Amino acid sequence: MIGAVGNHETGDKPSNGPTTYYDYFSSFSHGYIDGAEGKDPRGESYYAMDYGDVKIISLNLNGDESSPALDSNSQQMVWLDNQIQNADSKWIFIISHVSVYSTGYHGQWSADKKTSVAPILEKHAANGKHIIFFSGNCHSFEHLYKSGVHYIRPSVAASNIRDQYNMADLPYSLIWKSLNGFSTIDVSEDGETVTMISRDENGQEFYSYVFTRTAQMLPSLYFTEPDGNNDTVTDIFRIKWTCFDETKNGKINLYYSLDSINGTLIAENLSTDLSEVDYFDWHVRYLEPKGDYFIYGVIDDGINTPVKKYARGKISVVADTTAPPAPTGFTGYATDEQIVLNWQNPTRLMDVENMIDDFETGIGRFAGVPHAETATGSLEMAPGYNSGNALKINYNVLIPWGQYSAVLQNNVAQNYATTPYLEFWFKGDGSSRNLRLMIKQDLDFNGTADDWWYDESLNLSSTDWQKVKLDIRNFQELSWHTNASKAMNPENIYAIEFIVPSGTVGTGSVLIDSIVLTGQIYPAPDYEGTKILRKTDRFPANHTDGEVVYNGTNETFSDSNIVPGTHYYYAGFTYDDLNNFSGFDPAASWSHQFTSLETPLSAEILQVFPNPAHSIVTIKYAVQTADKASVTLEDITGKRIQIIASDQPIGNYQINFNTNGLASGIYFIRMNTSNQIYSKRIVINK
């Protein structure tokens, strides 16, 4: 019986050192760990042996302080490289408690093995070595394959069988089972094949595989979207996948189907190189009929039979019945025998936000979480920035690199794609420590964090309140935690954590206030145009109720087809490419009783100069009837700003009007009598 050192040999830390199973098993030692005296030499336990056509190599990849380092120049990695290089056996079996590739529970923390162990294995596999890597640790059965190396977890004997957690390695997984069981390995007499038969705890076979020294692995394809969660779409759906192609020259075709059989092409000849592409934006706005569509792909490496793979969920394509927002800033004025209307179409970026917590109703959404037994702490409510409440994180780090966290965990992963900027106020404690922000994503909506992203740029040295704004799309991947995605996308956010890590023992506190995610969006990406309707008895009720006087994408219109003495009612309605129209909005309407405002027959009745004006405006006017007149200043919306003169009898007048206090813009000087209005447009330019 042979074995490999596990995490309970090196990870447990009772007073007499890591000994959990050493009373029952002995293991070879290469001296003190990486030559450092004082570290238990039993952790440097790895060895190799030859058995028939197989070289067996046992490794310690636990990665804890009582185990060898995992960098490429460490004693164990150099030894491993030499052992494989010099092996002349037909097969190389490597056993290790810890996996390199795994979709199981511990696979999410295997990033360091992927950067240290995997390159060694893949290098030698490319040079003709036939390697099978056996491991445990994840409490599940699995067979994976990547770059010439098979990774097997052949048996489980545990009371707590675990589920799949790590999505990053899904494209390499050939089979995964959550059950107790065991496997037998049989090497053929000529050493050309290895047969593995896997059985459950009752002895029933559930999987078998024949490893050969000549067979090439089939390509594989795994869809991460659609996954059966929130996959209803009106416009564009992003299909996402991971894949494995040993040739690195394969192509992927994507299809959709109502019946899962008769597919219609979505896209073709997509590269299997994930560094080039791992998603496709499918435009479904005009797809008919609407309904639930299966998505599948065919991956073809040009050598083997193409492999067909379906996504886990269907896409529900529904009709877009949402109209663009109505026009804003709808105003008008009358001059020169025409009415001029102005408005803004919904084509400008608008600010949006998702309030995470302002702590005004308490701090109950956050939980204080120490990392293992490395720290203690507490959360409490404290005075916030500019009055109100804040969250106070008290921490007590007990050992170097301990940490304490304030964690907000959502019941269901949230989509914050439109608000990628994390803003909040914080106040440090004068220490040299940094605040670590962690965003965790639940990609498959199973209630477990998959991808972890962090930022550690905020220092706690200042005891003044500071406002920060961080783009969470720029958060980084942890070196020791494997993520499925190459970059952070603010979708499926499961948890937000405020962490105080410390390289030294110490205590302190940090205050957090007004946490909000912000962003900007176009309110109507599908905006097509604006219609202006007119009536003379009331406002148009909808886009068909009245005379269409304008249809287009401009933001101004001059209506010259008007009759003095008539009251005109205008309303604006926006629409998209599917002819969804906005409803009547009082803010998108304007009315006016039109009269001939500027009377060319009496050019001397009202004069205004200079125009444009900077400070003083001279107003000359003549009152020619017995009705007394008034002179007023109005803005572009018709709102009266000031009465310049009132109750003026027949006569000629001149007033020097001071524009101090007026903002730059367009104004109207109006002279009003009982039966006539005279108007002059003037531009104030400060």
How confident is the chain (686 residues) per 10-residue block, as mean pLDDT? Answer: 79 54 66 66 81 95 82 90 97 95 84 91 94 93 92 86 80 87 95 93 89 81 85 94 83 95 95 84 96 96 90 94 94 81 93 96 96 93 93 96 95 93 98 97 84 96 97 93 86 95 94 97 95 96 97 95 89 97 95 60 70 87 80 86 89 86 88 81 85
pLDDT at 336: 64
Q: What is the pLDDT of residue 636?
A: 79
How far from the centroid of its chain's Cα atoms is residue 263's Cα?
Answer: 30
C-alpha distances in Å from residue 167, one per residue of 231, 233, 425, 441: 19, 24, 34, 11
Return the sign of the alpha-carbon dihedral for residues 161, 165, 169, 170: positive
What single-letter DSSP state applies at residue 373? T
The neighbour count for residue 66, using CB atoms within 10 Å, is 22
Strand partners, 681: 668
Nearest Cα to 155, choosing from 174, 180, 133, 186?
A: 180
pLDDT at 19: 54
Pick among 2.60.40.1930, 3.90.1150.10, 1.20.1250.20, 3.40.50.2300: CATH of 606-684? 2.60.40.1930
* Distance between CA atoms of residues 603 and 620, nearest Å: 11
Q: Residue 171: which residues within 8 A CB-CB, separation 6 or more?
A: 220, 221, 222, 242, 243, 244
For the chain, the straight-line distance linking the first and the last C-alpha, in angstroms and rounded, comes to 93
Phi, psi of 91 (to 5 degrees): -130, 150
Residue 76 to residues 59, 236, 632: CA-CA distances in angstroms?
8, 50, 91
**Per-residue pLDDT at 524:** 94
Sign of CA dihedral 345, 351, 352, 358: negative
| Element containing residue 8 per DSSP (H, E) | helix 7-10
Tell me, letter by letter, the H, E, C secondary structure of 205-240.
EEEEEEEECCCCCCCEEEEEECCCCCCEECCEEEEE
- Is domain 328-348+523-593 given the CATH code 2.60.40.10 in the classification? yes
- Do the domains spanning 220-317 and 352-521 agree at the CATH topology level? no
Residue 503: CB atoms within 10 A of its CB come to 12
Task: Please tell me the predicted confidence (pLDDT) of residue 604.
Answer: 63
Domain boundaries, the chain: 7-212, 220-317, 328-348+523-593, 352-521, 606-684
What's the fold here for domain 352-521? Jelly Rolls (2.60.120)
What is the topology classification, in CATH, of domain 7-212? Purple Acid Phosphatase; chain A, domain 2 (3.60.21)
Pseudo-torsion of CA 113, 118, 120, 126, nearest 10°? 180
The CATH architecture that domain 220-317 belongs to is Sandwich (2.60)
Strands 131-135 and 149-153: parallel
